[in-house]
Structure formats: structure tokens, C-alpha cells
Chain A
Amino acid sequence: MFDLDRWREIFQSMGKNKLRTILSGFTITFAIMLFTILLGMGNGLKNTFSSFFERDAENAIFIWPNRTTKAYKGFQSGRRIEFKNEDVDFIKENYPGQFTGLIRRNQRSMEVSYKNEKSNYQVIAVDPDIQFIEKASPVAGRFINQLDLNKKSKTIAIGRMVEKDLFPKGISAVGKYVNVGGLAFKVIGVFSDPGGDNEERFAYIPITTSQMIYGNNDKVDQINLLYNPDMSIEEAVAFGNKMRRDFKKRHNVAPTDQRGIRVLNRAEMAQGTGQVSGALDMIVIIISIGTLIAGIVGISNIMVYIVKERTKELGIRKALGAKPSSIITMILFEALFITSFAGYFGLLIGTGVLEFAAPRLEKYFIKDPSVDSGIIIFATILLMISGIIAGYLPARRAAKIKPIVALRDD
């Protein structure tokens, strides 16, 4: 395979015919560059897509009541449905083993202040499992726990941004007291949330405390649960639907009423996303393959032209004793070298463009556009193959040239 003399011949032929070499290389460089950029953009789009869902747990189901829109069982339309603690007990009793986390959630916008700093935040009264649903994790102190709930203590876990807003730099909020809607709450921890600034401006307090101090009732605004991750997507969708039916029945909401009981099921969304990102994949693959084929056809044409242009030279070589196999290897290796080198160059430019453009693309919903090394290896192999395909037919044609035809003086 490695024959220094052969490569010397090939390099000379490429070097002395620079324009020809560059032109044929350019086609491949361009095709691979487009391929890389398209693939990268496609990946970026998919990244954006999945990041929409990363901020919360994938297996969450949210249930909340609303006004009915249909009269049913003697109840008027427009009735406001309300959830209470017993609705949570109902889930515990009826769906054992089907969920791994369950919380009540009452969310209000309230003024929170520390010394002279104050601002409005979403103060969310919850059960401790909320941290798994929101994927929040403490960066200092701890999260709300069952003991806080049992004691109905006035403790609060605040988001990173809340601490940043209210507390002077370098001062930890943990252990300090903040004023929440007129009452002093002790900060027991600061958390971060992949939901970003928005969800890091949340603060969590025990649901029991909230039910006691704000109205002394057992109302629940929203129930969140985590379905058992062992379930398949289809099973989880069915589970969500069953809960919707059961809750409608329980609260005397018409089965056809779209609004009385609302259920948002991540599993259903995952089904949708799967389809969308599958379609996205298909589009990217089709476009990329199209680009590559165009590149291969391009270089193939150029190789045909090159062989035609070199007919006389190849005829001379044959008259001087070049075997057909040596003509084939010469043309083939030249094509192979040009495609792999030019392709690699295209890959570099493509990834360079992606890297350069990445920060400017976020507003077009393209996040971290990049191609992974597996794809790069795949593309490289594809290039070698396309080089061989592109070079083989013209090379065969070249080897078949009859020296007398090539050398005829006209």
C-alpha cells in the first residue's frame, strides 16, 4: 500500500496541476462543510428542544382543578372545582406503586424582604418531594423536609437568585430570617435549579405551614406526582388518562369537559417530542445525505473531466510501460487523497463555523450546535468510500484508453 515512489508521482501530478487539484478538492470541502454545519444545526435544534424539558423531571404529571365548562349531574357549568388534602390521599390509596413522588403545591406571588432589600417572588408551599420534580438541589444548607412539615415550622428554602437579590455579596442566607408577607421565615437552604434564573427566583415553604397561616384550610392548588419510571411511555400516558377520568368522576365533572380537571403529563409530551425530534433527524439526515451525494457526483464528474484532460499523458505512460493497474491506482489514489484531505478540511471549516456561530444562534433556538466524534469518524469513512467511488469509474476508463488513440496526432 505505501509506496513512496507512487505517492511521489501522485503528489507531483497534484502539485503541478494545482488549479485542477484545488477545484476538485473544493467541491468536497464545500459538501463536507455543509454536511457538518447542517448536522450541527440540526443537533442544536434538538438540544434546544430537549432543554425545554430538562428543567423539570421527565416523569412528572401535573394535575390541577379549573372551572367546569359543562353542566353535569345537576351542577351548573362554570363551577369552580377545588382540590383538598383528601385528593392527595385518594391518589395514595388508589394508585399504590404507580408513583415515586407526590406533592401538594400552592403557589403565590409574595413580597420577600431581608433588611432593606425586598422583591416579589413565587413562594411555593409544597411537600418535600418537590425537589425531585423541579430537579432543584441545595447549594447551601438543606431542602424542606418532612420534619418541617410535621412541625409546621416557618422555614423557607430560597433559590440562588433570591439570595443574590436580597443578600449582600459574600453573606450566606442560611440561618437568616426573611420576611414573607409579614411573617418571619428562617432560611434553611439555598438551591439551584436547571430551570434557570426564572426557577431560581422561587422559594419553597412547607405546605402544612402555608395551609395553617394563610386561611387555615386544607386547599390544594395543584398536585404534582412522579410516575414510576419503570413504566413505559404508553403505560404512563394511560396512567395519566386514568387519573383524569377518576378525578372527573370524583368531582362530578362531565367526562367530555376539557377544562374542569387539567392533567399535564410529561409522558404525553415525550411522545410528541419523540415524533418531532424523529422528524427533525430525518430532515437533517436527508439533507446531509443529499449534500454528500451532490459532493460525490461533483467530484466524480471532475475526475471524469480530469481523466479526459489527461488522456494523452496516460497514453504516453502506457506506451512507456505503465500497466492498466498502475494507471488505476494512480487515478484512484489521487481521488482518494483529494477527497479525504479536502473532506477533512471541510470538516474543520464546518466545525469552526459552528463554534464561531454558536453564541449567535441561541436566539434562533439552536443550542450547542456540534457534531460528535462518532459522526466525524462516520463522515471520514464515508469520504474515503466516496473518494473510491468518485475515482474508480474514471480510473477504469483511464486504464482502458488505448495508447494509440491517446497518442494520435490531432
Chain B
Amino acid sequence: MKAALKKEIDGIIKSYDGTHGSLLGILEEIQKRNPHNYLPEKTLAYTAKKTGIPPAKVYGVVTFYSFFSLIPQGKHCISICRGTACHTKGSRKLLDYLRSSFEFEGDTGGDAKLFITTKDRYLTVRTVACFGQCALAPVIEVDGKIYGSVTVEELKKILKKLKGSRQ
């Protein structure tokens, strides 16, 4: 592991300075700063060592919350709800549209627990079981922001905006 990364993690841990229940915050911050928005194994092992929290416990936490990722994610991330309400209101079409507009790596089809990223690491698409916002179906989440009653047209607009954002 690179010294610079270790230093960065040390800094994040220090900024939380042992506050109770700080592990979640620390991990979130580390993932955010990762260029591919995920938590590599070595990073987690190092975080465990530095926080004194056993590695298995850290792993338990990371796998419990869906906003942590153990595999590289694209620059942008779209989560599509495949719950019953959203399915009835056409969330499938949104997924199909994304599949037809981008070239994903390792896409074996299907849509339960989907987690696919484009070859150029531009976009990650995943499915979730239900956002708990069924009244707004179909619901998607784009880079952490929830959109309701999304149509394919609207999705196109969102994608265009992402392209322009160049963050």
C-alpha cells in the first residue's frame, strides 16, 4: 500500500478522533476519496489496524450497508429500483435503456442485485429491492440523489446533465 494513501487514511481517522460509532463516517470518507468510489481490501485491512477494530467486524459493517462498495464503481452511479411498485410503473424500461446506451463489463443479464460498470469506468448501474418511496415509482438514485416518476425521456436528460457536469 502506498505511503500517501496510508497518510490520507490516518488523517481521516484522526479527524474523527475516536468518537463513538465513527467507523461509518471514516469508511464513507475513505470511499468517497477513492478514485473508483470503493473500498479495496488492503484499504480496509489498514483501516482496521489503525482503528483497532477487528477486520472481520469492519467487513461486517461494510457489507451490511448498501452504500459501501467492495468493487470499483464508475464515476457516476445510478441505482434503479426493481421493487414491485417500480416494476409496475416501468422501471424495467429504464434499465433496458441504460443497457442499450452503454457497454458494460461482465453483464450476465438479469436484474436482481445487479452491479455493472462500463468499460471506461464512467458509469455504474445497480438495482435495489425498494427505496421505500413507492409512491414516487419508478424511483432511481443518481449519485446519491433520488428522482421519482422517472421516464426514459427524463433519464436521457439526467444523463446529459451528468456528461456536462465534468466534476
**Chain A partners chain B:** no
Q: List B residues at the A interface (Cβ < 8 Å).
A: none
